[in-house]
Amino acid sequence: MERQRIAVAGASGLIGGALVRSLTADGHEVVRLVRRAAQSADEVCWDPGGQYVDAAGLAGCDAVVNLAGAGVGDHRWTDAYKKEIRDSRVLGTAALAEAVASLDTPPRVFVSGSAIGIYGDTGDRAVDEEAPPGDGFLPSVCVEWEEAAAPAQEAGVRTVFARTGLVVSGEGGAWGRLFPLFKAGLGGRIGDGRQYWSFIALHDEVAALRHLIDTEGLSGPVNLTAPKPLTNREITAAMGRVLHRPTLFPVPASALRVALGEMAGDVLSSQRVVPKRLLESGFTFAFPEIEEAVRAAL
């Protein structure tokens, strides 16, 4: 295996941290983008809000992976926080794409984070990468997020958009909040439970990102979700089985709207997303089923 030099933005996040650990364990050189002065050779200073990147620090990188962005579920969606969600993705991606394009010898691939939120509410209709964007706040953010990578594409750098689903992990994200509730026997379906959740085990998310880095010819949008999305009701039952706990406490849609405000609409929406391009490119899932993914997270 050839040793690569790979820059990662968002290295302190759930997915970015796991990716860095995986790459480092296999002997690759990882350069982290940090929002302060770089203190060592494996750090590069950047300011996503100010659209600044120390491009010289990216010289010699084989790949640049951008996973930075404010957490969608970290705060209630005020106008100010919605702006932060958007700007942290769009401005940061534009800055990185321009830095990549400015290099005399650019990296061979730019993997830019995105999300299945781009499809909006798809009901019970299965969608792949050919589906158009949906309506609403998150789809519009995802469209701008992907468009911001244009400078890298125009410079001839292979650019891949990792449209990530709900990551099954006990360390963070949506599942990081679900696990304590279910372990305490307080879990239950959300709303009527008929909405589809397109999940992926953290292990498979990292493996898929590495697959995007290494698979020449693969560019454009790629869905990072397990092959068979399930309804929230089915996932709730699987969580109960794995954790040996009752799942008797449904969260009514009305209560969710009071607690979460506008974001409740996205929690209650249905996204039945399938990873067509990932499978066609030869990727194999280690934990394709929900019970396997939950056990892996534990």
Q: In this predicted model, what pLDDT tens digit does every residue of 154-209 receive, in sequence order?
A: 999 999 999 999 999 999 888 888 888 899 998 889 889 999 999 999 999 999 99
Assess whether pLDDT exceeds 80 at residue 115. yes
Confidence of residue 225 (pLDDT cuts 50, 70, 90): very high
CA nearest 48: which of 62, 33, 38, 37?
33
Greater model confidence, 2 or 95: 95
pLDDT of 200 reads 97
- Mean residue pLDDT of the chain comes to 93
pLDDT of 165 reads 94
Greater model confidence, 172 or 224: 224
Sole residue written with tokens 């992926």: 200
Chain centre distance of CA 280: 20
Separation in Å, CA 211 to CA 12, 109, 282: 21, 12, 9
Cα separation, 113 vs 144, in Å, equals 12
CA torsion angle for 195, 201, 204, 208 (degrees, to 10)?
40
Give pLDDT tens digits for 118-153: 999 999 999 999 999 999 999 999 999 999 999 999
CA nearest 272: which of 239, 223, 236, 205?
223
pLDDT of 264 reads 67
pLDDT of 99 reads 97
pLDDT of 268 reads 76
pLDDT of 56 reads 94
pLDDT of 11 reads 96
pLDDT of 261 reads 73
pLDDT of 177 reads 83
Contact yes or no for 244/228 (Cβ under 8 A): no
CB atoms within 10 A of CB 191: 21
Confidence of residue 3 (pLDDT cuts 50, 70, 90): very high
pLDDT of 260 reads 63
Domains and CATH numbers, the chain: 5-297 (3.40.50.720)
Give the list of residues 6+ apart from residue 91 with CB closer than 8 angstroms, or none: 48, 49, 51, 148
Residue 108 per-residue DSSP state: S
pLDDT of 175 reads 86
